[in-house]
Amino acid sequence: MINPDGVLKGQVAVVTGASRGIGEAIARRYAMEGAKVVVSARTVSEGDHYLPGTITETVARINEAGGEALAVKADLASAEDRHNLIRAAEEAFGGVDILVNNAAITYFIPVADFPEKRFRLMMDVQVWAPFELSQLVLPGMRERGRGWILNISSHAAIHPEKTLGGRGGTVYGMCKAALERFTTGLAQELYDENIGVNVISPGLVATPGVMHHKLINDSNKERVTPVEHMAEACLRLVHGDPRALTGRIDYADAVMEEFSLSAADLI
């Protein structure tokens, strides 16, 4: 299942928030195409988080299948951890060719009750961390003359209907909207430098976090898509000609259809 001569042969990919769900699936799919994958999250061992999944398990699955992966514990609200993540990746495998900003921390609280501490934490993890991690990998990408940055967004970035009652997702939507505008702006800045920058939303995927927040119900359960579809779409957005594939605000199902993709079974 690991193809050492795949479309990501010899490339180094950093995937944040890869202990479970979408991040874990992306890491596994990239490894299957020959990438050396560095995965990060706060959850290293079982019991570190109330949700199942750890970066230790993600790495073990990849390495046991014949791939190459490294786990780096990182709290992306910490500047020291952000810098250490990129430094560890470079020391282990060399320069970072692909950065996937997937990590998120989310609180669903109405604006009137939202605490400043949690607001700043969400902005740090979902907006500032992708911004600074991009700053940290750009020098190496520019030196090598290539690279990809992929940011993971959400349909929450889309303006809601005025008539629909909210569930306290305003701050989450703000973070994702900011991430999308950052993506298109950075893509414009890097257009002539062979570095592609894209953002993609997964649609509705039954990840542990989605299930915990009870975001799937009778009204939307028919729209649930497999996590493998998101992983396949995220693979397509990090190879090819960056000048022809950059500055995109995409959705997993649209990417699957546009490029006639079939989702691979994950290792």
Q: Which residue has the tokens 């020391």?
A: 91
Choose the catalytic residue: 107, 172, 191, 251. Answer: 172
How many other β-carbons are positioned within 10 Å of the β-carbon of residue 164? Answer: 7
The DSSP code sequence of 59-115 is HHHHHHTT-EEEEEE--TT-HHHHHHHHHHHHHHHSS-SEEEE---------GGG--
Q: Which residues pair with 68 in a beta bridge?
A: 36
Distance between CA atoms of 219 and 217, rounded to whole angstroms? 5
How far is it, in rounded angstroms, from Cα 211 to Cα 195?
35
Is-catalytic flag, 50? no
CB 208 within 8 A of CB 49: no
Contacts 24+ apart (CB under 8 A), 90-93: 90/140, 92/36, 92/38, 93/12, 93/36, 93/38, 93/68
Q: How far is C-alpha 106 from the geometric centre of its chain's CA atoms?
A: 15
Q: Catalytic residue numbers? A: 172
